Structures are given as C-alpha cells and as structure tokens.
Amino acid sequence: MSKAIEGAAMLAGAVGMGAAAFFDPALVGSPYYDKLMASLAIGGISMEAGAIASALLSNRGQNITTRQPAAYRQIIRGTQRVGGVTVYQSTTGSSHDQYNFIIVLSGHEVDALENLYLDGRQVHWLGSGPGYSVRNGVGFGGVADNNTYTGPDGQHYNFGGTGHSGIYCEARWGDQADGDVISGMTANDPQWAAVGSRSPYLGGCCYIYLKIEYNPNVFPSAPEIRLTVRGKNNIFDPRTSTYAFTNNWALQVADVIADPTWGLGDATVYTDPGANAQLVAAANICDEQVTLAGGGTESRYCCDYVCDAGIGPGDVLDTMMPGAAGRLSRIGGGWYIWPAAWTAPSFTFDKSALTGPMTWTQNRSLRDLYNRVRGTYIAPNYPYNVAGNLYDSNGWYNGGLQNNFPFAFQPTNFPEYAEDVRHGFASDAWLEDDSGVEGAWSSATTYSVGDVVIYSGGIWKSLQASNTNQTPNAAGSTWWAAGAAYLPKELALRTTLSVSQAQRVAKITLLRNRQQGSGTFSMSLAAWQMQPCDVMSFSFPELNWTNKALEVVSTHFRVEAGASEGEAPAVRIDLGVQETDSSVYTWTPSTDELTPYDLPAGAGPSTSPRAPSDPTSLTVTGNAYVVSTDGVTVVPRLALSWGAPPDAITTQIQIQHAVHASGNWVDDGTVSVAQTAAYITNGIVAGTYYDVRIRSLRSTTGATGNWVEVDNTLAAAPNSLQSSYSINPQFPLTQPTATSIAVASTAATFGSTTVNYAARTLTIPTPSSPTWYYVTIADSAQQGESGSPTLAATASTSTSLVGVQGNTYLGAILALPGGSATQILAGGWPAPQTVQVQ
C-alpha cells in the first residue's frame, strides 16, 4: 500500500495530480493548481497516488506568549489555549510601575476570548465597566475582581483592585475598523494613538491590550500569558449556507481546502455537487452524538487546532486527518472528505466482473502490523483540586474540569487501546498471535525447540526437543520467558481535546490495521461507478468469499491496445481494495471507553489508576554470592528472575525483601520492565532466611500491581575473607625426617568463625644446610576442611605466599639436613613473628 495511505494521513486518492489533470484538464491552467503545488513544496509535502503523504509536524503554533521582531500569524480553529506575540510594550505611570502589552493572538477574526491566565492563574473579571464586553455569549476583559482564588500548587492569589490599580485587559477580535485603537492603552501610552495615516489598529488580527501593575508579591518576574480562544468564526456550513464558529471536524477540513488566505483556496469542496454532498454527509457524521460511559454525550469528531502561517496547508491537513481517522480524495473536480464511519456495501460483484488477473495479499508484513494503539491528545483539564491540591501526573483529579493551571491544553497520554481483558475480551488474542503463541501449555503435549505457549499469564518458548511435562519455569532449563511481541502504533492527536474521542479513533485505527487483506482487481467499466471509500460485496468461491466486504482505496483508469491490428482498444479499471467490516466502527462505551486512569469509564470518577498486570514465575536463588574486586570480601546476595508482566503499561518492577516472617520489608528500588532478573545485596547476611517480593509499577500514574512473593530462601555464601586471624596450636609444624614436614591438625579463627585444617605430611628435598620453609594452605573462601585434607598445602623456601589474600599461613620451620628442626616461626597473617627455640 502507498505510504500516503499509511497511518494518520490515510488520504485515499482516486488519482494523482497528473491523473487528475488528465480527467480535469482545466486543473493544470488554474491558479489553484500552482498554489497547491507551491504550498505542498514549501510544506515538504508530495502527492502520491492522489493522497497527501506524511508531512513534517514541527510547527505547533504559539504555546506561550513571546516577543519577536517578525512572526508568523497564528491560525486558531475550534477552541485552544494559546500564547501570542507581543508586538508592543511599554512602561508608564508616575513611578513607571505600569507594564503595557499589545499581544496579537491570531491573524484572523475570532469568535470569542474565554479566559486569560497569568502564570497559570485565571483572571476573573468584575463583569462590568471599561474594557469589559460580551461577545457571542462570553464576557471578557476589563478589571480583575478582588476575590481570592486557588491556583497551581494550591496557592491562593488575588488579582483585584479598584479602577486600574490591578489587572486590566481589553480585546479586539479581528473585525475592528481602520483607525480603531484601544482607548485604555492610548490613555496610558499616547504612542499607541492613531496619528495621520498611521494607525496601529492591527487590522484583521485578534489582539489584546494588557496592563499589569508592578507587584513583586504577585509577579516576581514577567508572567507567562495565555488565553483560551474560540477561534476562526467564518467557517462555511453547506447544510445551512452560513458562516460561523464551529469545531466540526469535516467543516474544518473543508475550510482548510477552501480558505483563500490560510488554505488551498479551492472552493470546489463546496461547489462540486458530489464533493458538497459528501461534505454534508461528513459533517452530519461528525455531529452525531456519542453516549459517554460516565453520562451525557459528545459529538463524534471535533477539531480544535492552532498553528501559524509558516506551516503549509498540506501539513495542516495531514495533522487534522488523524483526529477522525479521516481520509481525503481529489475525485474529478472536487475534494471528498470522509471521517471514519461504517459504509454499508453499495455495490455487488463477483468474479465475472474481473477482466484480468487479480492480486491478493492475505496478511500484512510484521513491520506494518500492530496490536495496540497508544498516543497523546490535547488535554484541556487541570490537575489541581480546589479542595486541596490533589492531582495525578496525567493532570486529572476525580473528573475535575477547572482549567486554571499552566499546563492545560498540553499533550497527554490517552488510555492505550487493545482488544484485551480490560476492554472486555477474554484474552489479548492478537498479541498472542503476533507473539507466535500456539496455545496454552499442556502437560500432555510434547513441544519442540521454539514452540511458544501461554502459561500462568506469561509467554514461554521451549528450549529443548521432546519437551514433555516440563512446567514453564524461569529457574529451569527447558523453557525461556520469551515475553510478548508488543507492536504499538503511536498516534499524535493534536486536534483532539476529548479523551473518549481519542480512544474511539485509536480503536478504529487498530481494527482497520487488523483487517489485513488487500489486493488489486482488474474490473470492467461497471466498476467505474465506484470511488474511494465505497464498499462493495464481492463473491469469489476459489477464496471462499461470499459477499466479502471490500473497501475501495484507489482507482486507476487505463486503456489497453487491441490484441491484434484493427481490434478495438480495451478499457480497464484497476481497483485497489482493502477488506473491511462493520465491527471496526462499533463503539460500546461500557467496555471500550476507559478513564485517564485506564479504568472502565462507567465506574465513575476514581483516584485509583488501573493496576498493571503482575510479573509471573518469580524464582529466588540464595547462593548467588560474589567475591569483590579486592579478592577478599565475599558479598552474599539473592538472585531473582521472573516472567515479564503480560501487558504493555508496566514501566518498572519494584523489589523488596525482608528477614523471613519478620514483615519488615526493605525496599530495593525498581528496575526497568525490560529486565527480568535482578540481585538483592543490601543487608543480606549469609546463613539468614529471607522473603522476597516484586510487583509491577506504572510510573506515569503510580499505579501498582499485586505483590508476587517467594518466602524462606537461605542466603548461602562463604565467610567474608578476614585480613587477620589466629591458629591453634600456634606451632603446628615438625620435621620428623630429613625429607618431610609434618603438619598437625590445626584450627584457624577468622573473626568469629573457626575452621579446621586436617593433618598432613609435606615432602621436601633433603636440605644441605639449615633452610627455612614457609607453609601455607590455599583457602580462598576461608572455609577450612572437614575430615581429610582437601585443600592444597605448600611448603616453600620463598615467602611469596606469606600475607597473600586467600592463603592461610601456618608458620615457618628451619629444616635441618638430619631432620628435627630446632627453630620455628609462628603462624598467622600478616607476616610471621620469630620465636625462640625451647
């Protein structure tokens, strides 16, 4: 399938621009054609198979107010919270304590200004007097009232005052006449007055005058300035033949195409009869009321978007399409707009309609397949509760909707959609299918190397042939906790303000992808009556198809020369088709819709986010000690291994341990969910029994799963090596013959631990003169021997082993040519001490 039909753009096309020119020759000579191609080139857009391919999405419009010498004008569609561009500012007043700002918000007329926020704190107006006005039912501006409100972090604030001693704001909405200036600004700063032919009225732009009195207790520094704006108010609705403000997705898309200033300037979306009829149908679909699980309804597809004039119209369309899982085609002379909705088959064909070979691909390649959809929408909510600063990291508290914090209208994760247990399914069948799962593990089945099964909620791969009745276990050698093949699709729904709308789009995006079959059919002219997004019923016995629903994604008209001279040419229609089903577009709020906490929306508001799935098959090994880099210290530790949690929302695994049955749990931190093994070292003492537990953690919300626990594991490790010790008897060495040194049974005490070394006889060459021999036993773990000698002992004329870590020094003896040594040196570590012969 063409890249242009991939993912968010989904702009199915009948023909490319070249083919469009073929069917509509007037297109090439039209100003629209040049403007379209120029705008697409500037925006980094190309047209392929009649569809706009993926575009650069770097421009988001002004999120905060800035000051720039030359800035693009902002375009606001629907409702958005935006900053602006400060085009003029000054300091006035007898004490220079009044700060004046002229801030441009958009390059067009707007419907209304809803709110002003300074450092995230909403300004509440007196509601009357100079500067205050009501536009389209929304009051804005004038003087801030004198009440106290709760703002970010639960801090109280008061912007009020009398007259102009506090906050003052006055607005122009973009319809002001030439020569109009804001008198409040002129009274403070005469430089803003109209002088002769010069008038700073900012024609066609929505802007505000804002005056802030100096008050370091309220504004320690220049405030962040943002406003909630109901934007463009001249969007045409062909159903009523009126121009007005709307956030209807289809009407917004049509406006981008038709607008001669900010769009493509092509009015055929309204004037072409077929395109206009489709636009009416699309607008009606968007206005359909969808029941919400928590009560009430909302429009099916809305569009609320801000960008600036530096972004090409093609890029704007590409950004808007995902908000309704929408598609767009240029057919004949008009633009056709389709929001996602089920279209029942309107044509019926069978194989007799085929005039040539057909191609059919049953499955997508793995790289094009996904089994869950996640992403972001623009959350208009705020995270603070007026009762006491209670919030979560997603910006939600108990369904609160008060928009008075600086990070509202920011990208926020919507609940991931998958056909899994939390959405009412018995299991995540697509995840299992993509992971190669053959079924649930059975003790009666013989598995081969590489077979994949489900066991205890985890996915396991067989590591051996003839694998029968071997329970999957991370501690064993017959199975490996393979983990699930999570294949996520990321959506950036930058025009969507509703978390439920985002989830509806996510479901449609996922289910369209799981309708994997696609192909190309060569058909007779009877198929020419179909256009992209039409659905036909097709019967083909060879593939066991009976009235299979196929959606048209592209059409191609071609003429073939006759097979022989004089034979008339043949006309062929090549259709690109994709299987589809009505289930793609069904929506059941009670199971499909989740709250931002990933809980069923029908359960009502909740502060408890959905718990992630638990890790599986925890095993704990107690003898996982390690010798430190000094070669002396033995560090006891516990080794943990587990199966990955069977979901995609877990981000970390939390680990704790306690002395067995004590209940005094010690936190050992977290590891990434990508890890399935860890060690516990902190506070572990050899010879002690421990309880260990782990659980899943979702760091974005703080939600945790259930503890998975393994109890009563013995921490086994050698004693830590000691740098000093004593031996008993102090002189365990004798020389019974000229060629031997006898070592008596010896006890060595290392710290509080005493070990034993067995008696043994070491052979030496007959000394020609009295010679010192130094005797050591190699005991790297300082564990001693039991019964018979098992450790290597050395009698050497060199002192190289004396004082070396891991060797127990027993002493030195002056061996004589005839035997019976007359002088010995005491044992112990460090170096030996000289003693007198008795």
* Token pair for 29: 């000579």
Q: 603 pairs with which residues across the strands?
A: none
Q: How far is Cα 472 from Cα 641, in angstroms, rounded to an integer?
A: 13
Please tell me whether residues 29 and 168 are part of one structural domain. Answer: no
Q: How far is Cα 123 from Cα 160, in angstroms, rounded to an integer?
A: 9
Please tell me whether residues 102 and 223 are part of one structural domain. Answer: yes
Q: How far is Cα 609 from Cα 698, in angstroms, rounded to an integer?
A: 9
Q: How far is Cα 805 from Cα 206, in angstroms, rounded to an integer?
A: 81
Please tell me whether residues 652 and 782 are part of one structural domain. Answer: no
Q: Per the domain annotation, does 562 fall within a domain? A: no
Please tell me whether residues 695 and 635 are part of one structural domain. Answer: yes
Q: Does 794 have pLDDT greater than 60?
A: yes
Q: Does 105 have pLDDT greater than 90?
A: yes
Indicate the DSSP class of residue 409: S
Close Cβ partners of 374 (under 8 Å, ≥ 6 residues apart): 413, 414, 416, 417, 488, 489, 490, 491, 506, 648
Residue 193 has a pLDDT of: 79
Q: In this structure, is the dihedral angle defined by the CA atoms of residues 141, 144, 148 and 153, taken in order, positive or negative?
A: positive
3-state secondary structure 572-623: EEEEEEEECCHHHHCCCHHHHCECCCCCEHHHCCCCCCCCCCCCEEEEEECC
Q: Does 461 have pLDDT greater than 60?
A: yes
Q: What is the mean pLDDT of the chain?
A: 81
Please tell me whether residues 772 and 814 are part of one structural domain. Answer: yes
Q: Per the domain annotation, does 461 fall within a domain? A: no
What is the arithmetic mean of pLDDT over 94-114? 92
> For position 646, which CATH number holds?
2.60.40.10
What is the arithmetic mean of pLDDT over 821-826? 70
Residue 38 has a pLDDT of: 34
Question: Contact 231/78 with Cβ under 8 angstroms?
Answer: yes
SS3 744: coil
Candidate ranges 504-508, 636-640, 807-811; pick with highest mean pLDDT: 504-508
Q: How far is Cα 101 from Cα 88, in angstroms, rounded to an integer?
A: 6
What is the arithmetic mean of pLDDT over 343-348? 94
Q: Does 201 have pLDDT greater than 60?
A: yes
Q: Does 108 have pLDDT greater than 60?
A: yes
Q: Does 834 have pLDDT greater than 80?
A: no
Q: Per the domain annotation, does 389 fall within a domain? A: no
Q: Does 390 have pLDDT greater than 60?
A: no
What is the arithmetic mean of pLDDT over 270-294? 94
Q: Does 836 have pLDDT greater than 70?
A: no
Q: Does 304 have pLDDT greater than 90?
A: yes
Q: What is the DSSP string of 343-377?
A: ----EEEEGGGB-S--EEE-S--GGG--SEEEEEE
Please tell me whether residues 89 and 204 are part of one structural domain. Answer: yes
Residue 609 has a pLDDT of: 60
Q: How far is Cα 406 from Cα 229, in angstroms, rounded to an integer?
A: 15
Q: Per the domain annotation, does 190 fall within a domain? A: yes
* Token pair for 749: 């005490």
Among the three residues 714, 740, 774, which one is the final residue of a domain in this structure?
A: 714
Kindly report, residue by residue over 645-668, the tens digit of the pLDDT: 877 678 889 999 999 999 999 999
Q: How far is Cα 28 from Cα 621, in angstroms, rounded to an integer?
A: 75
Q: Per the domain annotation, does 377 fall within a domain? A: no
Q: What is the DSSP string of 161-226?
A: -STTSSEEEEEEES-PPTT---HHHHHH-GGGS-BTTB----TT-EEEEEEEE--TTT-SSPPPEE
Indicate the DSSP class of residue 746: E
From the list 520, 518, 517, the residue with the least C-alpha distance to 356 is: 520
What is the arithmetic mean of pLDDT over 642-647? 83
Q: What is the DSSP string of 97-137?
A: -EEEEEEEEESS-EEEEEEEEETTEE--B-SSSTT-EEETT
Cβ-count burial 578-600 (b if 16+ within 10 Å, e if not):
bbbbeebbeeebeebbbbbbbbb
From the list 546, 543, 534, 538, the residue with the least C-alpha distance to 521 is: 538
Residue 673 has a pLDDT of: 86
* Token pair for 139: 């009051």
Confidence of residue 748 (pLDDT cuts 50, 70, 90): confident
Please tell me whether residues 138 and 206 are part of one structural domain. Answer: yes
Q: Per the domain annotation, does 605 fall within a domain? A: no
What is the arithmetic mean of pLDDT over 194-215? 83
Q: 94 pairs with which residues across the strands?
A: none
Q: Per the domain annotation, does 473 fall within a domain? A: no
Please tell me whether residues 673 and 752 are part of one structural domain. Answer: no
SS3 650: coil
* 476 vs 349, residue with greater confidence: 349
Q: Does 37 have pLDDT greater than 60?
A: no
Please tell me whether residues 109 and 226 are part of one structural domain. Answer: yes
From the list 440, 402, 480, 493, the residue with the least C-alpha distance to 151 is: 402
Phi-psi region of 258 (alpha: psi -120 to 50; beta: other; left: phi over 0): alpha
Q: How far is Cα 62 from Cα 475, in angstroms, rounded to an integer?
A: 55
Q: How far is Cα 803 from Cα 830, in angstroms, rounded to an integer?
A: 5
Confidence of residue 243 (pLDDT cuts 50, 70, 90): very high
* 830 vs 107, residue with greater confidence: 107
Q: Per the domain annotation, does 170 fall within a domain? A: yes
Residue 563 has a pLDDT of: 63
Please tell me whether residues 319 and 194 are part of one structural domain. Answer: no
Pairing status of strand 488-492 against strand 372-379: parallel
From the list 288, 257, 253, the residue with the least C-alpha distance to 77 is: 253
Q: How far is Cα 188 from Cα 166, in angstroms, rounded to an integer?
A: 14
Q: Does 831 have pLDDT greater than 60?
A: no
* Token pair for 679: 């060690």
Q: How far is Cα 705 from Cα 143, in angstroms, rounded to an integer?
A: 51
Q: How far is Cα 442 from Cα 445, in angstroms, rounded to an integer?
A: 5
* Token pair for 72: 């693009």
Kindly report, residue by residue over 405-420, the tens digit of the pLDDT: 444 687 878 889 999 8
* Residue 174 CA: distances (Å) to CA of 201, 554, 566, 757: 10, 42, 67, 97
Q: Does 195 have pLDDT greater than 80?
A: no
Q: Does 491 have pLDDT greater than 90?
A: yes
Q: Does 53 have pLDDT greater than 80?
A: no
Confidence of residue 216 (pLDDT cuts 50, 70, 90): confident
Neighbouring C-alpha atoms within 13 Å toward the C-beta of 122: 19
Among the three residues 186, 210, 231, which one is the final residue of a domain in this structure?
A: 231
Kindly report, residue by residue over 3-36, the tens digit of the pLDDT: 222 222 333 332 333 333 333 333 334 444 343 4
Q: What is the CA radius of gyration of the chain?
A: 40
Residues in the chain, total: 838
Q: Of the ranges 148-152, 195-199, 330-334, 755-759, which one carries the lowest mean pLDDT score?
A: 195-199
Domain span including residue 131: 79-231
Q: What is the DSSP string of 665-684?
A: -EEEEEEETT--EEEE-TT-
* Token pair for 3: 């890249």
**Residue 475 main-chain phi, psi, to 5 deg:** -85, -15
Q: 133 pairs with which residues across the strands?
A: 140
Q: In this structure, is the dihedral angle defined by the CA atoms of residues 315, 321, 322 and 327, taken in order, positive or negative?
A: negative
Q: How far is Cα 554 from Cα 552, in angstroms, rounded to an integer?
A: 6
Q: How far is Cα 105 from Cα 101, in angstroms, rounded to an integer?
A: 12
Q: How far is Cα 151 from Cα 438, in angstroms, rounded to an integer?
A: 55
Please tell me whether residues 211 and 108 are part of one structural domain. Answer: yes
Q: Does 219 have pLDDT greater than 90?
A: no
Please tell me whether residues 99 and 212 are part of one structural domain. Answer: yes
How many distinct structural domains can be found in the chain? 4
Among the three residues 288, 322, 341, which one is the final residue of a domain in this structure?
A: 341
Residue 809 has a pLDDT of: 87
* 137 vs 723, residue with greater confidence: 137
Confidence of residue 636 (pLDDT cuts 50, 70, 90): confident
Question: Contact 621/473 with Cβ under 8 angstroms?
Answer: no
Q: Does 579 have pLDDT greater than 70?
A: yes
Confidence of residue 703 (pLDDT cuts 50, 70, 90): confident
**Residue 246 main-chain phi, psi, to 5 deg:** -160, 155
Question: Contact 396/597 with Cβ under 8 angstroms?
Answer: yes
Q: What is the signed CA dihedral for 255, 256, 259, 265, rounded to 10 degrees?
A: -120
Bond preceding residue 612 cis, omega within 30 of 0 = no
pTM: 0.69
Confidence of residue 558 (pLDDT cuts 50, 70, 90): confident
